Amino acid sequence: KRGARLNDDDCPFPLEKMTSSADEVNALKKALITGITGQDGSYLAEFLLEKGYEVHGIIRRASTFNTSRIEHLYADPKTHREGKMKLHYGDMTDSSSLIKIIATVKPDEIYNLAAQSHVKVSFDLSEYTAEVDAIGTLRLLEAIRICNLDGDVKFYQASTSELYGKVVETPQTEKTPFYPRSPYACAKLYGYWIVVNHREAYNIFACNGILFNHESPRRGENFVTRKITRSVAKIHLKQLDSFELGNLDSKRDWGHAKDYVEAMWMMLQQERPQDFVIATGETHSVREFVEAAFRVIGTEIEWRGTGVNEVGVERGTDKIRIRVNPKYFRPSEVDLLLGDATKAWNELKWKPKISFLELVEDMTKSDIELMSKNPRA
Ligand code: NDP
Ligand code: GDR
């Protein structure tokens, strides 16, 4: 019985025949998503399925199931039993798996979202981050060439505002020079340029989406926004008294992941391949995100003390809700990100629909709902 859970039998090679008629096969556009189990991959899969695509995703073998963000899609008879979504075991560090999958699926569009995506973790896992985020991108591009699909495939690369790193100018556009500040950003810099190189050298339709931070209720729990909304939800439900953060002063241009996956698709529907900044054009500090999340539960936060001794206190009480812990500081920080997405607005007709405050509210309320059902979530 096909259930919400996956097991090894669900990922066979070669692929099962997926639709009943050959005409139907030809009518469907096929997309391959690396990183389909991540925040963006799950929203993109939903978006493409809605558009009528046949969606293929690469998943990694893990000791526990890592498919919670796409289980609802997999369990949906429309997508799974009719073969609209198919998962394949593979890894960005394993060329042969990538070649096999591309040769079998022959996708029209590839979205390369797989990455070791945590900036702080990349300082501890720098070599692995380069393997996956930099060389992994090269492996995928070369797999396209090995399969002789360079003239047929459109390729999206998940590039990042972290490329800008140390502030050279704001707002940051497609023309702003890069100055990466972490092993993650250095690896993504290679990814960015190897995509440009494959476009110029081999005429592959390949685009870099330089996406600024985007969040959602599906954001990984150790990114700052989700850490804040989960903690605020727990405080609201009296499951937690206080929590710790690192740098409260860094500023990010935060959008909603649902808006951003649409931009990825739009880039691949253009006449010619180009690189685009995707951003809201607003920036907020971590401190402001904290204040906004607490406001969702009707609490005002005021800040007392400075530096590592700074605390966030619930106004009208002595209850300390936030403490600073230097263990969350980064060896080198990105202080300010603010994107200028004018090119995307003009050429893709893309604009974000969800505001900063709506994003914070969506995440906080969703975490309250989650924690009230399961305090250990
Ligand atoms: P997540 O961390 O949520 O998802 C990362 C995905 O990559 C997961 O599906 C993960 O699989 C997969 N992955 C990691 N390592 C490997 C590997 N060795 N082989 C195959 N798959 C692997 O990231 P997001 O969804 O937030 O981001 C998507 C992409 O966009 C990433 O490349 C990220 O760097 C980039 N980006 C993200 C931004 C953001 O604000 N969210 C902004 C700009 C760029 P598993 O579930 O098994 O861990
Ligand atoms: P970022 O996201 O590094 O911008 O990378 P993250 O949410 O991890 O950090 C944002 C800022 O918050 C500060 N911060 C903390 N960060 C975390 N994770 N935990 C804390 O406790 C904490 N306290 C303060 C950080 O120092 C930082 O300044 C994200 C990832 O999705 C990347 O993959 C993507 O490329 C970029 O966004 C754009």
Of 172, 217, 181, 160, nearest to 361 (Cα)?
217
| Per-residue confidence (pLDDT) for residue 126, from 0 to 100 | 98
Q: Using CA atoms, how far apart are residues 368 and 362, in angstroms rounded to an integer?
A: 10
Average pLDDT over residues 179-193: 99
User: For residue 81, what pLDDT is reported?
Assistant: 65
Return the exposure string of 42-56: e unless at least 16 CB atoms fall within 10 Å of the residue's CB, then b.
bbbbbbbbeeebbbb
Q: Which residue's C-alpha comes closest to atom 4 of ligand 2?
A: 213
**If you ran DSSP here, which 8-state letter would residue 328 be given?**
G
Return the CATH superfamily for domain 224-249+286-333+356-373: UDP-galactose 4-epimerase, domain 1 (3.90.25.10)
309 pLDDT higher than 90: yes
Contacts of residue 352, defined as CB under 8 A and 6 or more positions apart, other chains included, come to: 255, 256, 259, 260, 280
Report, as an integer, the average pLDDT of 8-24.
39
Instruction: Mark whether 164 is an active-site residue.
Output: no
7 pLDDT tier (thresholds 50, 70, 90): very low
User: By mean pLDDT, which of 13-27, 32-46, 256-270 is the weakest?
Assistant: 13-27
Q: Residue 112 and residue 159: Cα distance in Å, rounded?
A: 9
8-217+254-283+337-348 CATH pick, 3.50.50.60, 1.20.1250.20, 3.40.50.720, 1.10.599.10:
3.40.50.720
Among protein residues, the one whose CA lies closest to atom 22 of ligand 1? 114
* Best mutation site among 113, 215, 226, 359 for ligand 1 pocket (most ligand atoms within 8 Å of CB): 113
Model confidence, pTM: 0.94
Quote the CA–CA distance of 373 and 40 in Å, as a whole number.
Answer: 25
Give the tokens for residue 279: 């951003």
- pLDDT tens column, 61-78: 999 889 999 999 977 776
Say if CB 227 and CB 286 are below 8 A apart. no
pLDDT for 113-145, tens place per residue? 999 999 999 999 999 999 999 999 999 999 999
Looking up tokens 């893309």 gives: 350
Helices (H), the chain: 22-27, 39-50, 71-75, 95-105, 119-124, 126-129, 136-146, 183-202, 224-236, 257-268, 286-296, 342-343, 356-373
- Measured by CA distance, the residue closest to atom 46 of ligand 1 is 37
Contact 246, 324 (CB under 8 A): yes
Residue 342 falls in the annotated catalytic set: no
Pocket test for ligand 1, best of 11, 32, 36, 40 (most atoms within 8 A of CB): 40
64 a catalytic residue: no
CA-wise closest residue to 322 among 252, 232, 249, 237? 232
Please compute the mean of the pLDDT values over residues 292-318 and round it to a whole number: 97
- Residue 222 CA: nearest ligand 2 atom is 18
**pLDDT number for residue 16:** 35
Q: Which ligand approaches the C-alpha of residue 164 most closely?
A: 2
How far does residue 223's CA lie from ligand 2's centre (Å)? 5
Closest-approaching ligand to the CA atom of 285: 2
- Give Cα separations from 137 to 59, 126, 188 (angstroms): 16, 16, 9
Find out whether the beta carbon of 29 lies less than 6 Å from any atom of ligand 2.
no
Confidence of residue 80 (pLDDT cuts 50, 70, 90): low
Contacts of residue 118, Cβ cutoff 8 Å, sequence gap at least 6: 184, 220, 222, 223
d(CA 240, CA 322) in angstroms, rounded, equals 11
pLDDT number for residue 17: 36
Ligand 2: which residue has its CA nearest to atom 3?
A: 119
Q: Residue 328: nearest ligand to its CA?
A: 2
Predicted confidence (pLDDT) at residue 165 exceeds the cutoff of 70: yes
Mean pLDDT of the chain: 92
Q: Higher pLDDT residue, 53 or 375?
A: 53
Q: What is the mean pLDDT of residues 182-187?
A: 99
Domain boundaries, the chain: 8-217+254-283+337-348, 224-249+286-333+356-373
pLDDT, tens digit (0-9, with 9 covering 90-100), for 213-254: 999 999 999 999 999 999 999 999 999 999 999 999 999 999
Give the model's pLDDT for residue 376: 82
Alpha-carbon distance of 65 to 228, in angstroms, equals 25
Backbone angles phi and psi of 71, in degrees to 5: -60, -35
Ligand 1 neighbourhood includes 334 CB (under 6 angstroms): no
How many angstroms is it from 38 CA to the middle of ligand 1? 5
Sorting pLDDT into bands at 50, 70 and 90, what band is 82? confident
**14: pLDDT confidence band, cut at 50, 70 and 90?**
very low
Which amino acid is present at 208? N
- The residue whose CA is least distant from atom 10 of ligand 1 is 35
Q: What is the pLDDT of residue 65?
A: 85
Please identify, by atom number, the ligand 2 atom nearest to the C-alpha of residue 334.
28
Q: Are 166 and 337 in contact (CB under 8 A)?
A: no
For residue 231, the SS3 value is: helix
What is the 119 CA–ligand 2 centroid distance (Å)?
7
- What is the pLDDT at residue 67? 93
